[in-house]
Amino acid sequence: MSQLLLPGDLIKGNETSDEEISAGPGVYCDPVTQELVATHAGIEVVTETKKGHAVYVNYNSRRYIPAVGDLVVGVITGSFGDSYRVSLSNFSNPVSLSFMAFPNASKKNRPTLKVGDLCYARVCSAYKELEAEIECMDSTKGQDAGFGLLDGGMIVETTLAYARELLFNESYPLLNILGKLVEFEVAIGVNGIVWIKTDEVKTTLACYRAILACQDIPPNQFDKTIKQIFNDTLKSSD
């Protein structure tokens, strides 16, 4: 049974023990009283960690706020000096992608992304008061890790909770069902952008519609709905 939290609700940690609690998204630590307060309405999630436990609120929204380590899909909107300006969601502050944050990058070896290109990247710095930064490589190993230009395909704008579910929940059936019907490439950004590409326009279109439709229905109906959408889409112009 999960607990619904509303903004302002106190989160009761394990007060008796002096275990450390890490506060995640949707949880605010009052600087004066040191109390944990929920800032968003959603489901409370408590997970065990090495040091103690972590608590966060699983809430749905559409506006993305960058956090370090997030995998995101962005659109290049400009290039300035030695970095690209990237938009992660419409009407939000742009983030920057340095020319050096690519695999094998050097002063001479510049990346070749153009304005309007889509790229898959990881947020590497996200301070509240500063412009967030993203990178197109795994900075721990300094090598290519599937990041970079997303060529062709189509993007689907989804809510953030749905995108997280698609990316992190391995038992979420959507991608498996799609995989049985068609071969595809997919990149999921937790900023609510899902990029999908198949060999043909029609199958991509069917995937696009399937992903959008499944946002509003429970997972046990996915199978039926997706098959229906594929049938309709592939038949439509014959």
Binding segment (CB under 8 A) for other proteins, from list 2-10, 27-35, 53-61, 230-238: 230-238
**Which of residues 100 and 205 has its CB atom nearest to other proteins in the complex?**
205
Q: How far is the CB of 215 from other proteins (least distance, A)?
A: 14
3 lies in the binding site for other proteins (CB under 8 A) = no
Q: How far is the CB of 158 from other proteins (least distance, A)?
A: 14
Q: How far is the CB of 123 from other proteins (least distance, A)?
A: 18
Cβ(76)–Cβ(85) below 8 Å: yes
Binding segment (CB under 8 A) for other proteins, from list 11-19, 41-49, 123-131, 199-207: 199-207
**Which of residues 181 and 187 has its CB atom nearest to other proteins in the complex?**
187
**Which of residues 58 and 215 has its CB atom nearest to other proteins in the complex?**
215
191 lies in the binding site for other proteins (CB under 8 A) = no
142 lies in the binding site for other proteins (CB under 8 A) = no
The alpha carbon dihedral of 164, 170, 172, 174 has a sign of positive
- List contacts with other proteins (CB under 8 A): 75, 77, 87, 90-91, 114, 116-118, 150-155, 195, 201-202, 204-205, 208-209, 232-233, 236-237
